Amino acid sequence: MKQPDDFSDEDELDPTEKPMGFFEHLEELRWTLVKCVIVYAVFAIAIGIFLKQFNAALLWPLEWVRHTMPEMKFEMAGRTPTEAFSIVIQLCCLGALLPAMPFFFFFLGQFVGPALTKTEKRMVLPVCFSSLLLFLAGSSFSFFLLVPSTLKISLELNNLLGFDPPIWTPASYYSTLSWLVIGVGVAFEFPLLILLLVYLGFISTATLRKYRRHAIVVIFIVAAIITPTPDPFTQTIFAAPLYALFEIAIFVGGRMEKKRAARLEAGEL
Residue 21: its pLDDT value, please?
66
% of the chain residues with pLDDT over 90? 42
| 70-74, 146-150, 174-178: least confidently modelled range | 70-74
pLDDT at 2: 45
The pLDDT, as a whole number, for residue 1 is 41
Whether 167 shows a pLDDT value over 60: the answer reads: yes
Mean pLDDT (whole number) for 188-202: 90
Find the mean pLDDT for residues 144-154: 91
Please check the confidence at residue 134 and state whether its pLDDT lies above 80.
yes
Q: Where is average pLDDT lowest: 77-91, 101-115, 191-205, 212-226?
A: 101-115
**DSSP designation for 162:** T
Average pLDDT over residues 17-30: 75
Could you read off the pLDDT of 152-162 as tens digits, one per residue? 888 888 888 88
The structure's pTM equals 0.81
Contact criterion met (CB below 8 Å) for 95 and 44: yes
